[in-house]
Structure 1
């Protein structure tokens, strides 16, 4: 595969490659997340080179993102609450910890990174506040999540979540013969674009560098600006925040 750093972001080629990868997530998750990690690291480095920087990956599962940041010269550390996920994380780079209470001093990180975690926490505002706390003044927060009303909001049982979460979950289990990984109100929550944007813009300790659709091939900053439409069209909201004090 062509090195993703050679892609233009946004581009139709990039979006199509990522979409095709997502369709294979159940069959080959490692390859999908390695690709996504390279793409996300490229996005981070558009704003702040990571070589020699401290990058904190909050909720990064098996450590694909942390491994990619380390490959690029960062001091990357993974903070993940699931012990089973940590078993496959990079040696010496992983700590079992809750994103609500990170075992880090204020301002310890140059970059605080979270990919597709916010929709899995019951209290998004507290989670974001903790990410901001551990980021140094002038440092960067990378926050991306799948919003509930997007076509992929129901995760493995999407797009049937539009007809109701429980109905969609039961349909998935009947069709596949296995238990769904996610359940609304337990490990998946209806996080919206508008509410999240209002919350981060109301903060006095960060400035919003960009709010964009993470995967759109054109005009990625357009969808989040459109009330109502953004809840469906954004698909996955990416926020780049700068810690200002």
Structure 2
């Protein structure tokens, strides 16, 4: 699917709607899409890829299908074993302290993890550390003020996180998976862009809406509007020598 395009965006939206009932279909499509995005900047064949916080391994498996030497690094055993068994060679590891040498990876990859860490600055610094000079860093996250910012409680998070959680409990009879301030954090586009652009060890190659069908780059340049319309911010960064 061409990126960006309306056909691609609709296909991803349909897949997200069935995330709970068809996780293989949803995350398989998302993994193929992310791999396509990466291959616009560097070949995956022969590359060493660190998949940080990659959950059950859908992205790792797609990178390996394309010839990469990919390793899954995931701290949560429930996520690692969500499909019965993780990919071969997976490592239980904390994103704040990755068990990799400086510059070990050609590509360091993270999809929808940054909004789940309390200290995104340290998390990003660790991704930069393990990426070789001229290597790539792929980071995508759901910003808090996007329509999906509250994850399963969205869009009611616009009325407040506690109210959204209470509504979810009343409607489903169970607590939501994510709690603001515990395993979900209010991350915003503007401050994140300022943070990465202020660094002297990386270059921003792309900053855009990950799923938008058009004007994907323009949306991320509009203060205020981008906090809602970006939906999910994609950063492609290059580690400077």
* TM-score tier after normalising by the smaller chain length: over 0.9
| Mapping 1:89-128, distance limit 5 Å | 90-128=86-124
| Mapping 1:1-245, distance limit 5 Å | 7-87=1-81, 88=83, 90-245=86-241
The alignment's C-alpha RMSD in Å is 0.8
Return the TM-score normalized by structure 1. 0.96
Return the TM-score normalized by structure 2. 0.97
8 A contact 2:72–2:87 mirrored in 1: no
Where has structure 1 moved over 3 Å in runs of 4 or more?
88-91
Gapped runs of 5+ residues in structure 2?
Answer: none
Q: Cα deviations across residues 170-208 of structure 1 (Å, max 9, x unaligned)?
A: 101110112210000000000000000000000000000
Displacement of 1:80 after TM fit? 0.2
- The 2-side partners of 1:163 and 1:85 are apart by 29
Gapped runs of 5+ residues in structure 1?
Answer: 1-6
- The 2-side partners of 1:110 and 1:69 are apart by 13
Displacement of 1:29 after TM fit? 1.5
- The 1-side partners of 2:172 and 2:35 are apart by 34
Displacement of 1:90 after TM fit? 4.2
- Number of residues of Structure 1 aligned to a counterpart in Structure 2: 239
Q: Which residue is 1:3 aligned to?
A: none
8 A contact 2:201–2:239 mirrored in 1: yes
8 A contact 1:67–1:90 mirrored in 2: no
Displacement of 1:219 after TM fit? 1.4
Q: Cα deviations across residues 141-165 of structure 1 (Å, max 9, x unaligned)?
A: 0000000000000000000000000
